[in-house]
A and B are shown apart, each in its own frame.
Chain A
Amino acid sequence: MAADAWFRSPLLRGLDARGRADVRAAARLHALGAGALAFAPGDAADTLWFVGSGAVALASGRGVVRVGPAGHFGTEALVRGAVRAVRAYAEEESSLLELPVSAVRRILARADADSALARAETAARREAFALLLAESALGRALDEAALAGLVSVLGEASRGRGERYFSSGEPARHALFVTGGVLELAASPGTTFAVRGDWVALEAALADSPHVETATALGDTRVLTLPASALRELARRHPAELAREREAAEARRARQRRVRGAAPGAARDGFSELERLESARSLLAIELDACVRCGHCTVACAESHGTPRFERRGEHAALVLVGTEAEPVRRALLFPHACQHCRDPACLVDCPTGAISREPDGAVLVREEACTGCGACAKACPWDAIRMAPRSHGAPPGASPLVAAKCDLCHGASAPECVSACPTGAIVRLDPRRDVAEARGVLGRSDSAERAPSASKTLVRWLALAGLLPPLVALARVGSLSMRARGTTGVVAGCLSGLLVAQALVKRVRPLRVACAKVGARAGRRGLSLFVGAHSLAGFAACGAVVAHAGAVPSRGLAGALELVFWVVALSGGFGAVAYRSLPGRLRRLEREGSLPEDGPAERDELEQRLFGALSSQNGAVKGLARRVLIPYAGAPFGPLALLASGRGLAAEEAALTRRVERLLGGRRSERLAGAEVLVKTSVALRALAARRLVERALAWWLPFHLVLAVFLAVLLVVHVVGVMR
């Protein structure tokens, strides 16, 4: 069988029938026409390619190599984090098999046929290391022979989150070359970071002096280690090349210190998110000052995927966005646990069947038909972005009913559903290296030219415009003396009300929603925000028309009910507009992380337990203080309202409460109240929790009320119009 020629490749030759079946299940089959590209230099390498028929040319600076049937190529993928060095394209009509490296390893190891793979790996390692080194100034400067010499002495090491490569004061035995992850280098002139392509501890290893920095892994990291003696030998032979690298490293450190030093105190938090920013290619973020907690994003996701692929829980961070705004501006963001399509996905490595693959555009996808539902990827994901969900087409017999599910960027759609469904344009997909100043400053800028659509201030502008309407309403009222005018305004009011009700359909019907989001995007807005503005405007106009048509006091009967319902709908809509505008910011100041309303009771229990637990080990003075001040403060019925009215954040409120406590004590006994900070913090958190729930309810419940009354309005309007037409 010519089609099965790839099983004659040296790597796959030893496979039994079962191994072959596994290969077929894990593989992706490509039929490439002459000249079609398999991969290009610089592409991420995580798959091996086998030729079934036809021929593939591998073109590089050193010439063109031809791979025929039963051959394989792309072995650099055996080194994690490697990139393609050559351009691979079909010379003629070819059928190719693409296999994830992790699947190949498993299949061969189980068939006890991995000796050829081990040899290929040894061979590939040197080339891959050379390619990785070429990402640094040193690697680019060295000639091929010197690079080969360097590669031969390199070792490998890896560390997990929080683990150290070296501490300051330790003798420098190695210089490190980072190939994956972010290293934090804490030193006295200021903390710096090292990412892929950076050399670490060059100076110390060269001078044979102790480390001056402490290198800690911010997440999973991988490095190549160069012994200090080999480095000194290199410095002796190629001083100019090494000097260039040292200059580049110094420039990098200076730039990072400048960026970080320029950031205002609190904004340095953004740097703690560096690992996420480094790994993410498409990061889902919700702007908290614009997010109205309506949940349309997850509802839209659930509608298109069966179950929502993320939830509005997650960490908060404040980052400076540059790509999405005209001016760089610091934004409070929530990172929901949604797939961020990592540059170096951990899930892909841990999948036993090769069901996870990466598209050329960087999107990481799960093939449901190949997924066994073992959950290895979900456990491997450092961001908790993969969850188990029921199969979309029902489970075949014997298979697990659950499969791994994660964000697929709504593959094939123009924009992710969550982004196009957001009524305020708060949810956005960021490319950190393009859109986030912190990531740009530390990691370097992405060369992607495309800019994300700008964030919305839509609602404000529309509301300002709508503020012009009351005078119009007054004018309409003056002209309403004539009965005929009443009829005309009635038609206008009816049409506007009908339009407003019909607008609700836009959000429910997907194609309409997507079209609306597209129109919005052309106007420079995200999601449905344009729609919300138009809705507010039409609502104000309808109010004017209704005053003109029916006067201010409702009449009796159906017309009276209709008028009353209209005003209730209008008032609830007005409340919603004001709430959407004013509440998210207040809510954000009272939150520490993204949580859903159903988390409230557990959080309350936790806080109460912490308060009383911390109290139990305190002395009498603190207990008295808690009884007199803190517990009444936390439980005051109107406390949450007062907190909301003051508009303070958690830190400001804690400071205010501490001042109050100090005033009460008048400076006495303060040394005995040493443990009271945690009590103050917890009391404030309790009051803030109640305030948050209040705000969440206000944001959540006006809309159902508005919608139900709008349905009433629609039905009464139809009856009214039918009556008038008769």
Chain B
Amino acid sequence: MSTSEKPRRARSLRSSSDQARSRGLLGGAVFGALLLVALLAWRHGARELVAPGPLARPHAGFTCTSCHAENTAQITCGGCHGPHPSSRSAHRSLAVEGTLTCGTCHAVHRSEAGIAFEPDGSVSIFDTGFDQVVVPPPPPIASVSARAANDRELTPSRLSSATLVPLVRAGACAECHDLDGARDPARSCVTGGADSFSLCFDEHRRPATKTASAATARDAALERARFLVRSRSVTAPLGAPRRLLAAGMPVALACGGALVFGLVLRRRSLARPTEPSGRAVVPGVRRLPVIDAARCLGCHACVDACPYDALGIRRYVAVLERPEACCGAGPCADACPNGSLTLLEGALPLAGPRLSNELEVSGRPGLFLAGDVTGSTLIRNAARQGVAVARAVHARLAGSTHGDDSPGSERVDLLVVGAGPAGLAAGLTARSLGLSVVVLDQAGVAASIRRFSRQKLVLDAASREDEALPLWLGDAPKEELLERWQRTLRGARLEVREGVRVTGVEGSGPFRIEAELADGARAGFRARHVLIAIGTRGTPRPLAVPVPEACVARVHYELSDARAFAGKRVVVIGLGDVAMESALALAAQPDTHVTIVHRGAGFSRGARRNIDAVGRLLARGRLRLVLGASVRALGVASLEIEVLGGVRSLPYDALFVHVGTVPARGLLESAGVAVRGEQG
């Protein structure tokens, strides 16, 4: 068997962000795509969406059958436009052959550009998908007379509707012509690249069937269009940024929709399923593990789960080695993989206050105790008890009438003394049950847990059951635990008054509570029920020798951050669990010299794991242990200890005194709590 330290808990597999990252992605994408199609359909019309493309102004509003004969690709332009063959013989003969069609030059679906001279005198340019007014430059001075004639012809009085002049892109000519060839006749018609417009406005001479004035107006329009094209004011497709915007807007909206929908889906899929609530626990009742030796696997799960090292393994079977150390909270039973370890419910603990099953102090109706002060241990137990008290108070109030509340009197349903796990759990439960509740604490929220050493793991959730506890519990560093609790408190808006030290609880039914504020002022509260959950921490037992003024700052009664003592000579007095944990944390710092001074002759109590860890460090020379020693005097730089009749001097930079605590009995006595036996 190796001597290296093994972890005490098997870790569970958890999904990481790698798995969570793609949640909701597909749903969001599909939703976004559908949204995009819907947006485009709403904007351009559903029919145009599946058409080869939107149609420009001359053919706007046409359906497929307007031009295409039923079920054929045959296009019939002549029906509307009448026969107007090309004025160029080559084109005409090609058209007769069928090689050249209307669509060769006027590709209606791809590009049907043109200029519209509106009745109001403005000029628009259109193409498939856009149509906008342009401000054309005035014609050159040389053609003033022509312009006058032109303007006359195009005056509103003479035009009832817009005159449309089709434009043909050079790209259409390029199907047959070599636009770069020096000898190609079409070259003179083209001013730019494939997207520029042709200058050949004499392609179709209309037969003189129309009135002369109309023919003149048309010639004027063609003349003006030729000028506009030649002057390059209509060459490029207009408004590229606006078109980009027009196409980009639906895409951006769809992206937004995909994001929102995807996030909603993701949140839903990541929501953790609620676990079933655990078994009912009678708070305060002592329970002991019982092991079915025939079924026990000897797997160490319970041994590792026990926070007090009460269990051990003998010949591959678990045994309860130290029943007096058992906390009765049952992490062992929760850890047991096959149920061979069960908890047997026993009587109330022998020592401690006399309490009813509802945790009410006998002889003081309405006064409750919960948490460590009842003699039970563990954060989980304390929280359970707090919940039970709040429920009991709620049940009683539901039975009685609420009518005797005189307005203005500050009387609450439940007043909780002590904002530890029990007090907070009671306060939160009472609040959720609709009771008026005030929590008082002489220090602050969970002050005892706050004083745990830095990043100390609070091992209190070795449990698969997820009870309906109002406070989160889990194997986490104390910082995380406190942060979660603070968040819960903020969310529940529970009133916790800090810095209020309760000095007396008097009366019965309506209790009168005397308290002292941090600034020394006195305050009074009135409450129907009182819960005392002040724990047992009390105050640390002081050193037996006087501490000189000069070294007060170097004598500590608790260790919050061992890193502050790196590289120092530290003396720890005491060999209990607290002392050993401090010493271990300190010895883990680089270059720290830790000496443990203990009165006794060896390890007399404490968890086995701490004893083992100290033993390991002793073997590696990382710790020194002086047994059978007592402190004689405390100097500025060194400590005098008496060992085996002689006196030795120990230099130190910091001194930790962990020789137990003095319980806070005063309040309990003043509140009239009867105590059975004497607590160790």
Residues of A within 8 A of B (CB): 18, 106, 109-110, 158-163, 220, 295, 298-299, 302, 307-309, 311-312, 352-353, 372-376, 378-380, 382, 384, 386-389, 398-402, 404-405, 480-484, 486, 551, 553-561, 563-565, 568, 596-598, 613, 617, 700, 704, 707-712, 714-716, 719, 722-724, 726
Whether A712 contacts B33 in the complex (CB less than 8 A), given A220-B4, A302-B19, A307-B15, comes out as yes
Asked if B21 CB lies within 8 Å of chain A CBs, one says: yes
Please name all residues of chain A whose beta carbon is closer than 8 Å to the beta carbon of B627 when the two chains form the complex: none
Asked if B128 CB lies within 8 Å of chain A CBs, one says: yes
Give the distance in Å from the alpha carbon of A555 to the alpha carbon of B620 in the complex.
78
Please name all residues of chain B whose beta carbon is closer than 8 Å to the beta carbon of A708 when the two chains form the complex: 25, 28-29, 32, 255, 258, 262
Q: Tell whether, in the assembled complex, residue B29 and residue A559 are in contact, meaning their CB atoms are under 8 Å apart.
A: no
Give the distance in Å from the alpha carbon of A159 to the alpha carbon of B616 in the complex.
12
Q: Tell whether, in the assembled complex, residue B48 and residue A557 are in contact, meaning their CB atoms are under 8 Å apart.
A: yes
**Pick from B11, B243, B620: contact of A388, CB under 8 Å:** B11
In the complex formed, the residue of B with least CB distance to A610 is B563
The winner among A160, A379, A398, A700 for most chain B CB atoms within 10 A is A379
The winner among A405, A481, A559 for most chain B CB atoms within 10 A is A481
Please name all residues of chain B whose beta carbon is closer than 8 Å to the beta carbon of A613 when the two chains form the complex: 561, 563-564
A-B contact pairs, 16 of them (CB 8 A): A110-B298, A159-B3, A160-B2, A295-B18, A308-B13, A375-B10, A379-B300, A382-B4, A398-B338, A556-B246, A558-B40, A559-B53, A564-B247, A613-B564, A712-B32, A719-B49
Please name all residues of chain A whose beta carbon is closer than 8 Å to the beta carbon of B255 when the two chains form the complex: 708-709
Q: Tell whether, in the assembled complex, residue B40 and residue A352 are in contact, meaning their CB atoms are under 8 Å apart.
A: no
Min CB–CB distance B2 → chain A (angstroms): 4
Q: 8 nearest interchain CB pairs?
A: A375-B10, A295-B18, A160-B4, A374-B299, A560-B247, A378-B10, A556-B129, A711-B29
Q: Tell whether, in the assembled complex, residue B294 and residue A18 are in contact, meaning their CB atoms are under 8 Å apart.
A: yes
Min CB–CB distance B297 → chain A (angstroms): 4
In the complex formed, the residue of B with least CB distance to A712 is B33
In the complex formed, the residue of A with least CB distance to B47 is A723
Q: Tell whether, in the assembled complex, residue B251 and residue A387 are in contact, meaning their CB atoms are under 8 Å apart.
A: no
Residues of B within 8 A of A (CB): 1-4, 6-19, 21-22, 25-26, 28-30, 32-34, 36-37, 40, 44, 48-54, 64, 107, 110, 128-130, 171-172, 174-175, 194-195, 237, 240, 243-244, 246-248, 250-251, 254-255, 258, 262, 294, 297-301, 304, 315-317, 335, 337-339, 464, 561, 563-564, 620
Q: Tell whether, in the assembled complex, residue A379 and residue B21 are in contact, meaning their CB atoms are under 8 Å apart.
A: no
**Pick from B17, B40, B194: contact of A557, CB under 8 Å:** B40
**Pick from B11, B17, B22, B247: contact of A561, CB under 8 Å:** B247
In the complex formed, the residue of B with least CB distance to A390 is B13
How many residue pairs link A and B with beta carbons under 8 A? The number is 232
Q: Tell whether, in the assembled complex, residue B251 and residue A617 are in contact, meaning their CB atoms are under 8 Å apart.
A: no
Q: Tell whether, in the assembled complex, residue B13 and residue A389 are in contact, meaning their CB atoms are under 8 Å apart.
A: yes
Q: Tell whether, in the assembled complex, residue B36 and residue A715 are in contact, meaning their CB atoms are under 8 Å apart.
A: yes
Q: Tell whether, in the assembled complex, residue A110 and residue B315 are in contact, meaning their CB atoms are under 8 Å apart.
A: yes
**Pick from B28, B30, B251: contact of A568, CB under 8 Å:** B251
Q: Tell whether, in the assembled complex, residue B44 and residue A558 are in contact, meaning their CB atoms are under 8 Å apart.
A: yes
Q: Tell whether, in the assembled complex, residue A561 and residue B251 are in contact, meaning their CB atoms are under 8 Å apart.
A: yes
Q: Tell whether, in the assembled complex, residue B18 and residue A308 are in contact, meaning their CB atoms are under 8 Å apart.
A: yes
Whether A482 contacts B247 in the complex (CB less than 8 A), given A109-B316, A110-B317, A559-B53, comes out as no
Contacts A159-B3, A715-B36 known; 15 new A-B pairs at CB < 8 A: A109-B316, A162-B4, A163-B3, A220-B4, A295-B16, A298-B19, A308-B16, A309-B13, A352-B316, A483-B107, A556-B130, A557-B40, A557-B44, A564-B247, A565-B251
**Pick from B243, B258, B563: contact of A560, CB under 8 Å:** B243
Please name all residues of chain B whose beta carbon is closer than 8 Å to the beta carbon of A353 when the two chains form the complex: 297
Give the distance in Å from the alpha carbon of A110 to the alpha carbon of B258 in the complex.
62
Please name all residues of chain A whose beta carbon is closer than 8 Å to the beta carbon of B25 when the two chains form the complex: 704, 707-708
Q: Tell whether, in the assembled complex, residue A372 and residue B40 are in contact, meaning their CB atoms are under 8 Å apart.
A: no
Whether A556 contacts B243 in the complex (CB less than 8 A), given A484-B175, A613-B561, A613-B564, comes out as yes
Q: Tell whether, in the assembled complex, residue A311 and residue B18 are in contact, meaning their CB atoms are under 8 Å apart.
A: yes
**Pick from A109, A158, A402, A565: contact of B315, CB under 8 Å:** A109
Q: Tell whether, in the assembled complex, residue B49 and residue A402 are in contact, meaning their CB atoms are under 8 Å apart.
A: no
Q: Tell whether, in the assembled complex, residue B337 and residue A374 are in contact, meaning their CB atoms are under 8 Å apart.
A: yes
Min CB–CB distance B616 → chain A (angstroms): 9
Min CB–CB distance A42 → chain B (angstroms): 26
Min CB–CB distance A254 → chain B (angstroms): 31
Whether A308 contacts B301 in the complex (CB less than 8 A), given A554-B243, A564-B244, comes out as no
Q: Tell whether, in the assembled complex, residue A707 and residue B299 are in contact, meaning their CB atoms are under 8 Å apart.
A: no
Q: Tell whether, in the assembled complex, residue B54 and residue A557 are in contact, meaning their CB atoms are under 8 Å apart.
A: yes
Give the distance in Å from the alpha carbon of A558 to the alpha carbon of B300 in the complex.
67
**Pick from A372, A384, A709, A723: contact of B50, CB under 8 Å:** A723
Please name all residues of chain A whose beta carbon is closer than 8 Å to the beta carbon of B194 when the two chains form the complex: 480-481
Min CB–CB distance A643 → chain B (angstroms): 23
Please name all residues of chain B whose beta carbon is closer than 8 Å to the beta carbon of A401 when the two chains form the complex: 464
**Pick from B7, B10, B21: contact of A700, CB under 8 Å:** B21
Please name all residues of chain B whose beta carbon is closer than 8 Å to the beta carbon of A308 when the two chains form the complex: 13, 15-16, 18-19
Please name all residues of chain B whose beta carbon is closer than 8 Å to the beta carbon of A480 when the two chains form the complex: 194
Please name all residues of chain A whose beta carbon is closer than 8 Å to the beta carbon of B110 when the two chains form the complex: 483, 486
Give the distance in Å from the alpha carbon of A565 to the alpha carbon of B113 in the complex.
25
Please name all residues of chain B whose beta carbon is closer than 8 Å to the beta carbon of A711 when the two chains form the complex: 26, 29-30, 32-33
Please name all residues of chain A whose beta carbon is closer than 8 Å to the beta carbon of B254 when the two chains form the complex: 712
Q: Tell whether, in the assembled complex, residue B52 and residue A307 are in contact, meaning their CB atoms are under 8 Å apart.
A: no
Min CB–CB distance A716 → chain B (angstroms): 7
**Pick from A309, A380, A598: contact of B6, CB under 8 Å:** A380
Please name all residues of chain A whose beta carbon is closer than 8 Å to the beta carbon of B11 when the two chains form the complex: 378, 384, 387-388
Please name all residues of chain B whose beta carbon is closer than 8 Å to the beta carbon of A565 when the two chains form the complex: 251
Please name all residues of chain A whose beta carbon is closer than 8 Å to the beta carbon of B561 when the two chains form the complex: 613
Min CB–CB distance A348 → chain B (angstroms): 14
Give the distance in Å from the alpha carbon of A726 to the alpha carbon of B250 in the complex.
24
In the complex formed, the residue of B with least CB distance to A107 is B316
Give the distance in Å from the alpha carbon of A625 to the alpha carbon of B36 in the complex.
56
Min CB–CB distance B548 → chain A (angstroms): 23
Q: Tell whether, in the assembled complex, residue A555 and residue B52 are in contact, meaning their CB atoms are under 8 Å apart.
A: no
Please name all residues of chain A whose beta carbon is closer than 8 Å to the beta carbon of B620 when the two chains form the complex: 162-163
Q: Tell whether, in the assembled complex, residue B564 and residue A617 are in contact, meaning their CB atoms are under 8 Å apart.
A: yes
Give the distance in Å from the alpha carbon of A298 to the alpha carbon of B51 in the complex.
45
Please name all residues of chain B whose beta carbon is closer than 8 Å to the beta carbon of A389 when the two chains form the complex: 12-13
Please name all residues of chain B whose beta carbon is closer than 8 Å to the beta carbon of A404 when the two chains form the complex: 10
Whether A220 contacts B299 in the complex (CB less than 8 A), given A483-B171, A613-B564, comes out as no
Give the distance in Å from the alpha carbon of A689 to the alpha carbon of B286 in the complex.
50
Whether A481 contacts B37 in the complex (CB less than 8 A), given A553-B240, A556-B54, comes out as no
Q: Tell whether, in the assembled complex, residue B17 and residue A295 are in contact, meaning their CB atoms are under 8 Å apart.
A: yes
Min CB–CB distance B26 → chain A (angstroms): 8
Q: Tell whether, in the assembled complex, residue A379 and residue B33 are in contact, meaning their CB atoms are under 8 Å apart.
A: no
Min CB–CB distance A482 → chain B (angstroms): 6
In the complex formed, the residue of A with least CB distance to B561 is A613
Give the distance in Å from the alpha carbon of A405 to the alpha carbon of B294 in the complex.
27
Give the distance in Å from the alpha carbon of A404 to the alpha carbon of B29 in the complex.
37
Please name all residues of chain A whose beta carbon is closer than 8 Å to the beta carbon of B262 when the two chains form the complex: 708
Please name all residues of chain B whose beta carbon is closer than 8 Å to the beta carbon of A551 when the two chains form the complex: 195
Q: Tell whether, in the assembled complex, residue A564 and residue B251 are in contact, meaning their CB atoms are under 8 Å apart.
A: yes
Please name all residues of chain B whose beta carbon is closer than 8 Å to the beta carbon of A388 when the two chains form the complex: 10-13
Give the distance in Å from the alpha carbon of A711 to the alpha carbon of B620 in the complex.
63
Q: Tell whether, in the assembled complex, residue B40 and residue A561 are in contact, meaning their CB atoms are under 8 Å apart.
A: yes
In the complex formed, the residue of A with least CB distance to B254 is A712
Please name all residues of chain A whose beta carbon is closer than 8 Å to the beta carbon of B8 when the two chains form the complex: 379
Q: Tell whether, in the assembled complex, residue B175 and residue A712 are in contact, meaning their CB atoms are under 8 Å apart.
A: no
Give the distance in Å from the alpha carbon of A486 to the alpha carbon of B107 in the complex.
13
In the complex formed, the residue of A with least CB distance to B4 is A160
Give the distance in Å from the alpha carbon of A704 to the alpha carbon of B266 in the complex.
13
Give the distance in Å from the alpha carbon of A613 to the alpha carbon of B28 in the complex.
45
Min CB–CB distance A180 → chain B (angstroms): 11
Give the distance in Å from the alpha carbon of A62 to the alpha carbon of B391 in the complex.
80
Give the distance in Å from the alpha carbon of A312 to the alpha carbon of B10 in the complex.
19
Give the distance in Å from the alpha carbon of A398 to the alpha carbon of B336 in the complex.
11
Please name all residues of chain A whose beta carbon is closer than 8 Å to the beta carbon of B1 when the two chains form the complex: 158
Q: Tell whether, in the assembled complex, residue B174 and residue A481 are in contact, meaning their CB atoms are under 8 Å apart.
A: yes
**Pick from A311, A553, A557: contact of B237, CB under 8 Å:** A553
Please name all residues of chain A whose beta carbon is closer than 8 Å to the beta carbon of B50 when the two chains form the complex: 719, 722-723, 726
